[in-house]
Structure 1
């Protein structure tokens, strides 16, 4: 009888010892996990964000955008969200790439949308894309962008679409600018008057009117050199549609 009691007590002691050991292991694991999380939070705490490629978006706007999307405090969380989660791109950008320079430094490369033109207003330049959305309102003039006149930009704001009667005008402008680039022609400015388009090359005004501009612009590489040094208006608004006649009205 006493042997059974002793055996039972021994079994209880072994069970208690095993449970205590398991508890200590679990407690140690939990402490280790917490310590690891704290270490990761401290080591991968974002202290510096380097931003490149932005001209329309300011550094402050990009930082606010990152903070709004979450993960701005921890580089691991930020990179995980950008690679595997949902991280929408701002309206004025094509893409944003994030890389880790070191655990506490993030490199942000911004690829912004390309403006098709700008409108000058109150000493500032309103740049817009091929769909008419405002990419930025800057005080600096970018020489590689075409000047557009005739569009209302009084209520223009970044990320919003310019107010026009017909959105097709933006597609028409894109077509005209693309055709000019193909012909290696540089227009000083483009006047957009409703459906009608007018090009300016120095003292020469070229009336394209409306409709398909391809045939009309195709005539310019031949005609413009012949008009060098003169002033006036080249009428192409009806060329190709109702007539093959091109007239030049001297100023």
Structure 2
């Protein structure tokens, strides 16, 4: 009888032993085979792969492939990371995952108590640290209170914050990355690029201003001065560029907007060559070729090199220093110089030799 009872107890223990064995093996598989050893990070721009991995896999179970995949299947999980709008986890192999991140667009950073306060194009603080993020411009001229990650920039003037957000979005859309973003005492926007600054004024036509700036910016590279776009409207066809280091203004140039076939000529310093009326000279080779084909003279009339001698006579001087006092028809050759032998020049229309 006692022997039978022992056999029954042993038979009851067997399923429990099998169950526990299965559980142990399962845990061994889950926490052994599915232990993450290889991580690929994609989609990151401002943050390094190491930073992304550390923040996404921050809790104690995050090194398990199954758990990590399950956790970020819920879109709300990314809300714990204020600099990301979404996170996607893909299992490549049981021990190999890919982390695909969608970073929020960082508009710039403000300095506060020795730390950089990074904010996105919605005006929300995404990070407060001493870390300098490549490609993120500093923003000055904005006073804020105590910043909190995940909350809006603490700007006292709500209307000003709206302007900051609108400008940040327009600037991101333009593709321009200034060296510095500044707001003056009137809360108007100024962008700095190298030794040049661009006065953009208030938010009026900001998208259009930045679109035009993006188109003409290559002409400004290497130049020093101020581009005036604060009074821009879609109806204007040119804007003023005043040379001079960061606003030490000298003689101004005119930069045409919405150009088509003609490009501004530049001097050896890379600055636009201007006519007497302030407009930039344009390449006339295409015009000259057309004139020649149509039976014209092939020479281009020029009126930007006039002077007056001691007797009050007007004199025309070309780039080579050749002069003429016959100003009825001053013509230049294809090399930009008066057709002359030192004593006179040839009238390209009549072929007559005219003495100086």
Bucket of the pairwise TM-score, normalised by the shorter protein: 0.5 to 0.7
* Structure 1 pair 126–226 and aligned structure 2 pair: CA distance change class (3 A): closer
Do structure 1's residue 225 and structure 2's residue 219 form an aligned pair?
Answer: yes
Instruction: Tell me the SS of whatever aligns to 2:89.
Output: strand
Do structure 1's residue 172 and structure 2's residue 162 form an aligned pair?
Answer: no
Q: Give distance in 2, aligned partners of 1:91 and 1:42.
A: 35
Match of residue 194 from structure 2: 202
**Structure 2 counterpart of 1:234, from 227, 250, 260:** 227
Match of residue 39 from structure 1: 25
Q: Give distance in 2, aligned partners of 1:79 and 1:222.
A: 47
More helix by share: 1
1:193-238 deviations in Å (ceiling 9; x for gaps): 575211112332221112221332344344873796443x333222
Q: Contact 1:115/1:128 (CA < 8 Å) preserved in 2?
A: yes
Q: Give distance in 2, aligned partners of 1:137 and 1:50.
A: 29
Match of residue 178 from structure 2: 187
Do structure 1's residue 215 and structure 2's residue 215 form an aligned pair?
Answer: no
**Structure 2 counterpart of 1:146, from 137, 142, 149:** 137
Do structure 1's residue 131 and structure 2's residue 122 form an aligned pair?
Answer: yes
* Structure 1 pair 75–205 and aligned structure 2 pair: CA distance change class (3 A): closer
**Structure 2 counterpart of 1:88, from 63, 77, 81:** 77
Higher gyration radius (CA):
2
Q: Give distance in 2, aligned partners of 1:86 and 1:204.
A: 44
Q: TM-score, normalised by structure 2?
A: 0.48
Instruction: Tell me the SS of whatever aligns to 1:151.
Output: coil
Q: Give distance in 1, aligned partners of 2:233 and 2:75.
A: 50
Aligned length: 220
Q: Contact 1:51/1:110 (CA < 8 Å) preserved in 2?
A: no
Q: Contact 1:126/1:153 (CA < 8 Å) preserved in 2?
A: no
* Structure 1 pair 92–236 and aligned structure 2 pair: CA distance change class (3 A): same
* Structure 1 pair 88–143 and aligned structure 2 pair: CA distance change class (3 A): closer
What is the 5 A alignment of 1:99-138? 99=91, 101-102=93-94, 105=95, 107=97, 109=99, 111=101, 112-121=103-112, 124-138=115-129
- Which structure carries more relative contact order (alpha carbon 8 Å, separation 6+)? 1
1:7-35 deviations in Å (ceiling 9; x for gaps): xxxxxxxxx9xxx69x94x7533432222
The alignment's C-alpha RMSD in Å is 4.1
Deviation at 1:192, TM superposition (A): 3.3
Deviation at 1:140, TM superposition (A): 3.9
* Structure 1 pair 77–235 and aligned structure 2 pair: CA distance change class (3 A): closer
Deviation at 1:152, TM superposition (A): 3.9
In the alignment, structure 2 segments of 5+ residues that lack a partner are: 249-356
In the alignment, structure 1 segments of 5+ residues that lack a partner are: 1-15
* Structure 1 pair 37–74 and aligned structure 2 pair: CA distance change class (3 A): farther
